[in-house]
Amino acid sequence: MSVYLQRFAERFACLQRDNLHILSELYDDSVTFRDPLHHIEGLDALRAYFGQLYANARDISYSFAGYDEVRPGQGYLRWRLRFCHPRLKGGEPVSLQGCSFLQWRERVFSHQDYFDAGALLYEHVPVVGGAVRWLKGRLT
């Protein structure tokens, strides 16, 4: 278990709409953030992204299941995200499992998220959601 990753996760889980200044404690000014839907360069852009996220979603919470350092300054966080969004699943809670690969010195300079984009977004959009769920069922 990595003490750095555990502390990072604890601070990250505290993020809310009104305390996004915490991001500057966690991330380097030149951070690169990627997930299946976004590629963001720089702390200011990351702060803007989280500002939009927290403005449009509610009841956002993260729970972390693992803090695995693979070598000094590199490791994985396993997590579950729960949130509600008025345009997804009729505003009902959405749950998503994923992991993040982080690289850091004093602060994180590279953050790569891995998750099922269909489970996050496409399965919960009216009309498209039914087609995505049907297709996933056919593939399994």
The domain 3-139 having CATH identifier 2.40.50.140: the answer here is no
Query: Coil, strand, or helix at residue 92?
Result: coil
The predicted pLDDT at position 129 comes to 53
20-to-23, 43, 52, 107, 109 alpha-carbon distances in Å: 6, 11, 11, 16, 17
The predicted pLDDT at position 134 comes to 58
The predicted pLDDT at position 4 comes to 96
The predicted pLDDT at position 123 comes to 54
The predicted pLDDT at position 108 comes to 98
The predicted pLDDT at position 95 comes to 86
Structural domain boundaries in the chain: 3-139
Q: Among candidates 50, 18, 35, 32, which has minimal Cα distance to 107?
A: 32
* Predicted confidence pLDDT, tens digits, the chain (140 residues): 689 999 999 999 999 999 999 999 999 999 999 999 899 999 999 999 999 988 888 899 999 999 999 999 999 999 999 988 887 777 788 888 999 999 999 999 999 999 987 665 555 455 555 555 555 565 56
